[in-house]
């Protein structure tokens, strides 16, 4: 049950990252844009990243050309027809995902495995929108997909063992480390990581320390590559809010409940790196703590 050709639904940073590493591993990739607008943004981003690698001597020009030749970009969902795996990487909204999977299910060939890259949502709930319960699975990559080594593989109660084994082999072919996880909200990493970020925000709200102090303490004291507030900005505060809402709805643990400050920032469109403003101001180099939050 080999995976020779894949489709990725969603042309954002995560989808593009997975497309790049899969094409680099010799797999044919179709990137399907899920939202209106031009389809060339993802290609431009991949080409730019590869060109930097060539300039730095980390990649040969011939290898770059061969990788790009394995990538096809389209906005037509029926391009999934001859693929062995479709990986969904769109907005973190269960009903939107279910609707897309129902549509994909009608267009994909019987050989196709359907997979979601969701960070917290129920794989079983998405699977139930399709007619292939044995060929549905969660495959959760981490951002940036080109760098992060972990992939959470999330079979449901009805996913076949052969499909799970095939997906694990696919993940290993990409040079990633798969970890099998039960289908439960947040899986492993985000179930543990989200309360950590929320508690850091509560520390800021209570005045325990300022933004830089909280991040420096965890960076140096726990040997984390970045502090929790920087991490929240990197992930996107809207994504952190969605994860916390999903976790709290499932487990009702106080540590998982979104904080008022997080809700306010998202409502104001202050989402972190993607909007150039979050707990830090990314319009400056190097980024500086958001002055408005220092005064709260």
Active site residues: 119, 140, 152, 190
From CA 13, how far away is CA 132, in angstroms rounded? 28
Q: ∠ CA(116), CA(84), CA(104), 5° rounding?
A: 55
Q: SS3 for 88?
A: strand
Q: What is the torsional sign of CA 221, 222, 225, 229?
A: negative
CA nearest to 212, candidates 223, 195, 200, 202: 200
CB 119, CB 185: distance < 8 Å? no
From CA 237, how far away is CA 75, in angstroms rounded? 28
CB 167, CB 115: distance < 8 Å? yes
From CA 90, how far away is CA 220, in angstroms rounded? 35
CA nearest to 140, candidates 178, 97, 174, 114: 178
Q: SS3 for 36?
A: coil
**Contacting residues for 119 by C-beta, under 8 A, at least 6 apart:** 92, 140, 186, 187, 190, 239, 243
Q: What are phi and psi of 229, to 5 degrees?
A: -75, -40
From CA 238, how far away is CA 226, in angstroms rounded? 19
């Amino acid at each position: 049950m080999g995976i020779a050709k894949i489709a990725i639904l969603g042309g954002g940073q995560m989808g593009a990252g997975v497309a790049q590493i899969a094409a680099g591993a010799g797999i044919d990739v179709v990137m399907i844009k899920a939202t209106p607008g031009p389809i060339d943004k993802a290609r431009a981003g991949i080409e730019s990243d590869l060109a930097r690698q060539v300039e730095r001597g980390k990649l040969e020009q011939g290898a770059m050309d061969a990788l790009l030749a394995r990538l096809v970009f389209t906005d037509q969902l029926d391009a999934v027809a001859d693929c062995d795996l479709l990986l969904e990487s769109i907005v973190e909204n269960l009903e939107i995902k279910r609707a897309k999977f129902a549509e994909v299910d009608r267009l994909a060939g019987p050989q196709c495995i359907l997979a979601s890259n969701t960070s917290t949502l129920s794989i079983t709930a998405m699977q139930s929108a399709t007619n292939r319960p044995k060929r549905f699975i969660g495959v959760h990559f981490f951002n940036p997909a080109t760098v992060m080594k972990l992939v959470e593989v999330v079979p449901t109660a009805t996913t076949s063992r052969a499909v799970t084994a095939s997906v694990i082999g696919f993940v290993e072919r990409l040079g990633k480390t798969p970890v099998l996880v039960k289908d439960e909200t947040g899986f492993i990493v985000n179930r543990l990581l989200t309360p950590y970020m929320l508690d850091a925000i509560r520390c800021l709200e209570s005045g325990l320390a300022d933004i830089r102090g909280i991040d420096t303490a965890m960076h140096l004291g726990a040997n984390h590559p970045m502090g929790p507030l920087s991490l929240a900005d990197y992930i996107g505060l809207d994504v952190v809010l969605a994860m916390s809402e999903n976790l709290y709805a499932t487990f009702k643990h106080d540590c998982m409940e979104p904080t008022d400050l997080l809700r306010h920032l998202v409502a104001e469109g202050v989402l972190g790196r993607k909007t150039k403003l979050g707990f830090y101001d990314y319009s400056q180099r190097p980024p500086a703590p958001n002055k408005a939050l220092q005064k709260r």
